[in-house]
Chains A and B, each alone.
Chain A
Amino acid sequence: MTHPPHPPRWPRALLAAHTAAVYLFLYLPIAVLMAFSFNRARQTAAWEGFTLSWYGEMLRDERLLGAVRNSLVIAALATVLATVIGTMAALAFAPAGSRPRRGRGATEVLLLLPVILPEVVLGAALLTLFGAWRLRLSLATVLIAHVVFSISYVALVVRARLAGLDPALAEAARDLGAGSWEVFRRITLPLALPGIAAGALLVFTLSIDDYVVTSFVAGAGATTLPLYVYSLLKAGVTPEINAVSTALLAVTVALIAAAHRLLRHEPGSAG
């Protein structure tokens, strides 16, 4: 007599096939896009031979390069500002487990709201504000918007990291005579650093990829990369977009890989 296998399972083969299909679904469209950025054909999806000419066209596109510059400047500034402000906000929180303090809830809600709110609502609200102030839409308004939606992410990520740390370490440092500044600089900050780095990376990717909010608050001459790509998409599909997409994906993957290497050796995860 035989027992049923433990634990009872779905037919494994079926599940495995389904899962493989899911990965195919996630990656095939991107792979196709990349492959066709090397296709000679301009209009059709027929393969007419290998070419790098779309990349050449991309590199000669002044407006594209300008948009990339704008995006990089905005993303860099937004990353610095949001990381500093968000990290500070996270540090202001009580250590997990201590008795809740008055006002902590308010700050918590304040930090959560920008994340919860649909982007379209945030964009419309900021446009309303800038309109009321008769502020000319420019790269500055874009930067403000990006900082606004990024602070929360940094604060939440850093806070999660802080909550996962062992409080005994700070206590030990204090017992050994370290002042609060010293504890902060030599214990808290180094241990929080992976979280801060993760938050910064997150801001950079959010900023450089944001279309929705940016579309509301960017004026003429403040075209960012997503805005430019969007205008290309609305105008119609061209092989140049495939090249731009492939380049962007390559840069993104390289960045993730670099970040992965950098953060890999850190013990523990705050996730």
Chain B
Amino acid sequence: MAESPEHEGAAAPPPRRRTAGRRSGPPGGGWGSRLPGGGWGGRPPGGGWGALALALPAWLVLGVFFLLPLALMLGVSGAERGVYGGLRPVADLAAYLRSGAFLASYRQTLQALYLGIAWRSLWMAALTTGLCVAIGFPAAYALALHAPPRRKGLLLGLVVVPLWTSFLIRTYAWMFILRSEGLLNHLLLGAGLASRPLPMLYTGGAVIVGLVYGELPFMILPLYAALERLDRTLLEAAADLGAGRAAVVRRVTVPLALPGLVAGVVLVFVPSLGQFVVSDLLGGAHTMLLGNLIQNQFAVARNQPFGAALAFELTAAVLLLLAAGARLGAGRAAGAAGAGAGAAGKAANEASASGQPQRSWELL
């Protein structure tokens, strides 16, 4: 075996007792691995097969209930909808493929109506992201550079706590505030600022408010992490060299915070794009987003091929965005967002650190 334990270095203490460098892996399996070299991977009993045995349950569960469903859905997206909502059986697969009929659902997604919905999803997600940056950046800046060190933990914890509370209820809070008989209208009427209740709920504006409300912490946390690590002497140096306040921010602070910014943008934009709860509860008939459209195809319209095609297009868009984000610099910068979680963790304890439901991809 070429592997010499001595070269593993301090990070991975060489296995001393047994099975040094023995290879293990499933027959022909591409993912077969050497032993966890005795470091923190630990070497629970099982010797060379330990690593395989450890990851096996995850592979089984995710293989059967994650990869297989996706593959099935890919197949469904190429099928034709049956008369009663099921799938129409295909008699001759080769002929079916040659005819190009399997692309019918994807072609359908290009109709003006659906392109309109996709476009609306995109710009609503973009607007949400923009607002989150505008609101979140100054707040993160103040937290990272101005907050008294003793208060930082508490202040950061207060940004994290909403993430642990029910998303539905946080959305509902805005229904309660914005509806015609709601609090805001009550106050406006009481103050004489409106003569009759303003329609605020079930509008695009309400959806944006709900999205920004739900996503804002995901922008603040990575920005905070990036700004917190920023070397302050650079700011002083810039000032000493004659840069004005605005110039320092524009030419030093923002570029240095870029990884955090990119991470925040991705963390906010991606979930906003696939959203359907907020738009369903706070939006009206004219604020249908991609998420609603997909959900509709499965729950109401019973057009699974079309829904599946839309789902894969959404997935493709998300993957493209993530790739772009990684390329733009979130990538190796310790996954600025990961650091975000880390920073939050120091403050709001480890549990909260990881407490970013749905966003742990930052460990990418």
List A residues at the B interface (Cβ < 8 Å): 4, 6-10, 12, 15-16, 18-19, 22-23, 25-27, 29-30, 32-33, 36, 43-46, 84-86, 88-89, 91-99, 101-104, 106-107, 110-129, 131-132, 144-145, 147-148, 151-153, 155-157, 159-163, 165, 167-168, 170-171, 174-175, 179-181, 183-184, 188-189, 192, 194-195, 197-199, 201-202, 205-206, 209, 211-212, 215-216, 226, 229-230, 233-234, 237, 241-242, 245, 248-249, 252-253, 256, 259-260, 263-264, 266, 269-271
Contacts and interface: CB of A to CB of B under 8 A. Distances in A.
Most chain B CB neighbours (cut-off 10 Å) among A7, A120, A160, A215 = A120
Interface in B304-363: 304, 307-308, 311-312, 314-315, 318-319, 322, 338, 341-346, 348-355, 357-361, 363
Most chain B CB neighbours (cut-off 10 Å) among A6, A111, A180, A194 = A180
A7 B233 CA distance: 8
Nearest to A81: B61
Contacts of A205: 164, 355, 357
Given A18-B139, A125-B70, A233-B281, A91 B170 contact: no
Contacts of A113: 66
Interface residues of B, number: 135
Contacts of A132: 72
Contact of A183 (B42, B67, B341): B42
A181 B45 contact: yes
A228 B55 CA distance: 36
Interface string B186-221: 100000000000000000000000000100110010
A155 B142 contact: no
A124 B297 CA distance: 9
A116 B344 CA distance: 21
A211 B72 CA distance: 23
B173 to A, nearest CB: 4
A5 to B, nearest CB: 9
A89 B16 contact: no
Contact of B341 (A148, A234, A237, A271): A271
Given A162-B41, A170-B40, A174-B38, A157 B62 contact: no
A213 to B, nearest CB: 11
Nearest to A179: B17
Given A95-B40, A118-B274, A237-B175, A252 B166 contact: yes
Contacts of B68: 129
Interface stretch (B28-36, B97-105, B255-263): B28-36
